[in-house]
Amino acid sequence: MPILRTATILVINCGSSSLKYEIIKMPEQQSLGKGLVERIGTEGSIITQKTKGMKHCENFDCPDHKEAMKKMCELLINEEFGIISDLSLINAVGHRVVHGGEKYSESVIIDKDVIKAIEENVELAPLHNPANLIGINEAKEIFPMLRQVAVFDTSFHQTLPPSAYLYGLPIELYEKHRIRRYGFHGTSHRYVSNKALDMMRRFKENTNVISCHLGNGASITAIEHGKSIDTSMGFTPLEGLMMGTRSGDIDPAIIFYLSERGFSNDEINHMLNKKSGLLGLSGISNDLRDLEEKAANGNEKAKQALDVYAYKIRKYIGSYAANLVKVDILVFTGGIGENGIKMRERICHRLESIGIFMDYDKNSEVGANPGIISQPYSPVAILVIPTNEELQIALDTYDLYV
């Protein structure tokens, strides 16, 4: 067997006011350490770095991402709590990029054309693509000789057929304004679906998967023979499931109704994205743990919000099962998917008619660990798989590096 080339990959995920990073050794897929810079551009900026069982937190003045990257580099090689001994040990940089539009169906080495494409898609992801570009440009300045790779959230869903990605709108809106369903969380769905195949010792060519990424943001993807054929998020991450603070699917006429009653576009946009979902329905919290506690103590609004959340997810699972014809694996991932034991029970209850039989004891025992939580006789295997988008980015970067 050929000896695989060793590489140290820096994974960067730049948000509008944050910077996540991780150092991963390949091909061992070993995380050497990770960090997070929060509140970039505001008071109280803080960096937290974890490695070798140690955790270091530090407040510092961070007016922009340039300063965040500078601090990241300082801590990466810090003598006391650094992750690596020298920045020259980094062999390649992988970047999470939210929107690649229709141009990219896989991860790519970043060049001028890729930069241009990310810029062209800023209007489709105005909160994320600009920050992703900042991370790329800063990394190119710090590591000018290293290969930089873009891993797009949308690329996995570029295999959707027109029947799944087109809206029932005038076709000119798609042709001239690029209005279609793009889907998001693609890196996560791709990672856990591949892990599911490994766990069940199956080949993608004869396996269909429904992947549920459930967190504060949530989406479900139907994966046929390794390819995404439908996903719940659409033109934006607002479509689809009800989420922590997002409404998910609603009658679009509600927007006009609210507008006619004095609500501004900004107010409606803020309401649908930040004040709806679990938070809006319960009036309590967007955190599932808070709602479970309140529901256990008899709070009816908390119970109702949890029931609506589970119901919406069951509807999507059912519709995807109908389109896939045959479902082999159902995966739960994301903060709620991995940790929400009771929520997984709510979701799987009443899905027996489509071959999904949960083992409730196994579900409780597995918790947030990888494992099978279905009955031995269940036609559909139910799995809990912790997602690891950073590792998927490292895997893609490594493939393009070697």
> Any idea of the CA torsion for 58, 62, 64, 67, to the nearest 10 degrees?
-70
Tell me 82's DSSP state: -
> Any idea of the CA torsion for 393, 329, 214, 228, to the nearest 10 degrees?
50
The annotation status of 102 as a binding-site residue, yes or no, is no
For residue 27, cis peptide bond before it (omega within 30 degrees of 0): yes
The annotation status of 216 as a binding-site residue, yes or no, is yes
Instruction: Delineate the domains of the chain, giving CATH numbers in brackets.
Output: 7-152 (3.30.420.40), 203-389 (3.30.420.40)
Beta-bridge mates of residue 398: none
The annotation status of 215 as a binding-site residue, yes or no, is yes
- Residue 230 falls in the annotated catalytic set: no
The annotation status of 338 as a binding-site residue, yes or no, is yes
- Which has the closest alpha carbon to 218: 314, 313, 344, 320? 313
Are 104 and 182 in contact by the 8 Å Cβ rule? The answer is: no
How close are the terminal C-alpha atoms of the chain, in Å?
16
From the candidates 61, 64, 111, 153, give the one annotated as an active-site residue.
153
Question: Could you tell me what percentage of the chain is helix, strand and coil, using 3-state DSSP and rounding each to the nearest 5?
Answer: 40, 20, 40
pTM (global) more than 0.85: yes
Task: Give the C-alpha separation, 61 to 45, whole Å.
Answer: 6
The annotation status of 288 as a binding-site residue, yes or no, is yes
**Which residues are CB-neighbours of 225 under 8 A, at least 6 positions away?**
204, 205, 206, 207, 208
- Which has the closest alpha carbon to 247: 218, 213, 289? 218
Q: What is the pLDDT along the chain (402 residues), one digit of tens a residue?
A: 455 789 999 999 998 889 999 999 999 999 999 999 999 998 899 999 999 889 999 999 999 999 999 999 999 999 999 999 999 999 999 999 999 999 999 999 999 999 999 999 999 999 889 999 999 999 999 999 999 999 999 999 999 999 999 999 999 999 999 999 999 999 999 999 999 999 999 999 999 999 999 999 999 999 999 999 999 999 999 999 999 999 999 999 999 999 999 999 999 999 999 999 999 999 999 999 999 999 999 999 999 999 999 999 999 999 999 999 899 999 999 999 999 999 999 999 999 999 999 999 999 999 878 999 999 999 999 999 999 999 999 999 999 998
Task: Give the C-alpha separation, 153 to 95, whole Å.
Answer: 11
